[in-house]
Amino acid sequence: MRHPHRNATAPVDLTAAHWFWRQSRSATRRRRDGKVLIFIAVALPALFGIVGLVFDAGLILSTRQNLQHAADAAATAATMDLRLDKPKAEAIATAEDYLQDRNAGAEALATTNIPPSGGSYAGRSKFVEVVANHPYRTRLMHLVGASRESQVTARAVAGLFPSTAGAAVVVLDPNPPSLGATASLLDISEQTTIGGLEVLGSADTRVDGAVLVNTTWGGVDAEGNPAGSGPGPPYGIACTPQLATSRLLARDIYVVGGVDNPDNYGNFVGGEKTRLRANRLPVADPFRYLPVPTSSSDPGNVNPKLWGGVQVASLLPIVTPTTLEPGVYEWIDVISGTVEFKPGIYIIRNVSPTSGAALSIVGGTVKADGVLFYITNSPAYDPLAGAPDNADGEGRPTSSAVGGQASVVVNVALPGSSFSPLQDPSSPFDGMLIYQRRKDYRPIVISAQNLLGSPAFRGTIYAKWGHVRFLGDGAYDMPIVAGSVRFVAKLGLTIAPSQLLAPAYDVFLVE
């Protein structure tokens, strides 16, 4: 017999059980909350440090990027000064200006090294190294023990690389003046200026080297796109041939402005692509630092003796040669006869009342080997001190137009004649044949027409603001640096210097 209460359900006190359950859960929660608070208290500095690291690191990275851009700009600008042949001190000042005043602010400091002190380009004179430093003050990191001040550093190196072959012809004047009439043996006296470099005639003018032209006048580039200051004429370079087959051919043609027609230009090397580049940066005068001839700048070749004015005009077919010595002349006219110039420097400081030129050689037989003709429009030029020419500097002459008469008129195709430059490696004028005072606009007119071959004529012609007109055929070892230049070729003219001048350079950021 079963027990009467074995399968009966015993009553349970739910109220008491729930109370114990709630009390247990509450105690667990209190223990857990305490652990979280302790964890937060312990981890908060670390979390704050992480936030500060992310925040300050981002700002430091941004500061460094900005500083790097500023250093790049500073190095590039300073190198551009070197390209324009400015002194190192000026290039360093430019770097500081670009870093502090134009980009990174007054707190930035620049250390500019010319040449660089380290890296792949250490010791190379045409390169600039800028090491930039900028202080950074932390926003949050210093609150967790980090340093309040730190330095952000950036480094940049820029340099000059040749962008053309060595130069054979350099035109310096960005805006040449109008050319007046020039009484000379050349029948081109009334032609107007149509380009900083003008190429005329019925045959090619070939230049074994680069042609560098600073003239800003307009035209087009190699692709026919606008270039320079306007549509032209006048043009930076103008090639106006009498025959459609006549062109200017050079290893490089590099012009600040534009040209008249890209089809008129080609490469000196047959079959090679035309290297015509317009809208370029100007080049520096390669003879900027050349002194004027004095007994102190070249005592071995400058004779301060005054010889007055000289005219040679013999009517007899055979006469005793006239010998001229280096020194200071008022003018030299050779109309006929035989003349020998002894080696050295001839300073000519006035003009002939007959020809109107300082140096006029239009007839006779002339031997002028190992000479330099220094032409000045200063009647009181001092061969001892070089005054007033030694103070000319780089500035344009005050006169805005070329006078009506050439300073030099030379017929170099005279039978039996020869012309060669000063030959003295110890002289600053070694290799120069004609050197015209910088502040002298007058034209230099050279005629080299000779159907029997190239006349014996070589040497550098330098007339910083003057105009050189060369009418000739044949090949000539003759670098030309002038304010403006005109070539006229009838049968074919080649300018092929044995010693080229500096090429054009472009600026590149390399480190």
> Above pLDDT 90, what percent of the chain?
59
Which of 73-77, 145-149, 341-345 shows the lowest per-residue confidence on average (mean pLDDT)? Answer: 145-149
pLDDT number for residue 137? 59
Residue 241 binned pLDDT confidence (cut-offs 50, 70, 90): low
Which of 54-58, 139-143, 145-149 shows the lowest per-residue confidence on average (mean pLDDT)? Answer: 139-143
As a whole number, mean pLDDT of residues 110-118 equals: 91
**Would you say residue 484 has pLDDT above 90?**
yes
- Between 396 and 501, the more confident residue is 501
pLDDT number for residue 414? 84
Domain ranges of the chain: 27-162
**Would you say residue 285 has pLDDT above 50?**
yes
CB 325 within 8 A of CB 347: no
**Would you say residue 321 has pLDDT above 90?**
no
Across all residues in the chain, what is the average pLDDT? 84
As a whole number, mean pLDDT of residues 134-163 equals: 72
As a whole number, mean pLDDT of residues 220-237 equals: 92
CB 169 within 8 A of CB 485: yes
**Would you say residue 214 has pLDDT above 90?**
yes
pLDDT number for residue 132? 87
Cβ burial, residue 295 (10 Å; 0-12/13-18/19+): middle
- pLDDT tens-place string over residues 46-55: 555 555 455 4
Q: Of 78-92, 182-196, 290-304, 402-416, where does the model show the most confidence?
A: 290-304
**Would you say residue 393 has pLDDT above 50?**
yes
**Distance between CA 485 and CA 466 in Å, rounded?**
9
Q: Is the dihedral of CA 279, 284, 285, 286 positive or negative?
A: negative
**Amino acid at residue number 467:** H
Task: Please report, for residues 207, 343, 476, the alpha-carbon distance to residue 272 in angstroms, rounded to integers and kept in the order given.
Answer: 14, 42, 23
pLDDT number for residue 133? 87
Residue 93 binned pLDDT confidence (cut-offs 50, 70, 90): very high
416: left (phi over 0), alpha (psi -120 to 50) or beta: left
pLDDT number for residue 66? 83
pLDDT number for residue 186? 42
pLDDT number for residue 108? 74
> Above pLDDT 70, what percent of the chain?
77
**Amino acid at residue number 478:** M
pLDDT number for residue 189? 44
pLDDT number for residue 47? 52
3-state secondary structure of 192: coil
DSSP conformation letters of 255-320: ESS-BS-GGGEEESSTTSPP-EE-SPPP---TTTTPPPP-TTT-TTT----EEEEEEEE--SSS-P
Pairing of strands 127-137, 109-113: antiparallel
**Would you say residue 452 has pLDDT above 70?**
no
pLDDT number for residue 91? 93
Which two structure tokens, joined as six digits, stand for 316?
A: 């007899």
pLDDT number for residue 319? 67
**Distance between CA 91 and CA 81 in Å, rounded?**
5
**Distance between CA 486 and CA 467 in Å, rounded?**
8
Residues near 505 by beta carbon (within 8 Å), at least 6 away in sequence: 83, 126, 160, 161, 162, 163, 283
pLDDT number for residue 44? 52
pLDDT number for residue 24? 60
140 CB-side CA count, 13 A = 16
- Between 459 and 490, the more confident residue is 459
Which two structure tokens, joined as six digits, stand for 405?
A: 């008469």
CB 253 within 8 A of CB 238: no
As a whole number, mean pLDDT of residues 13-32 equals: 58
**Distance between CA 181 and CA 405 in Å, rounded?**
7
Residue 226 binned pLDDT confidence (cut-offs 50, 70, 90): very high
Residue 99 binned pLDDT confidence (cut-offs 50, 70, 90): confident
